[in-house]
Structure 1
């Protein structure tokens, strides 16, 4: 997949997660990507991992 297609996918996932679902609850999307996001997105938390530290017990609590 090329970079432009990948960024469209990320933007689409963020848009989908940004609004409440039909039952009124917030949506959440968890995705793993190889590189940091190209810009900050409101409401998005990035949790960097690397080959030495692939697990994240430091994930922020949801409000």
Structure 2
């Protein structure tokens, strides 16, 4: 399993509070490139939605 974690940034690397996570399956036939494509699709789908919710005060 792989995926994305959207989190707040603080003074420590990757230690901010988690806002949202999404995952995708790692297939036996995956290459680094095909897995990266699926992870990027998660980013493209969810980053705008999470940002909109943050702006509207609906999460975080």
TM superposition score normalised by structure 2: 0.31
Between structures 1 and 2, the one with greater helix share: 2
Between structures 1 and 2, the one with greater strand share: 2
Higher relative contact order (CA 8 A, sep 6+): 2
TM superposition score normalised by structure 1: 0.30
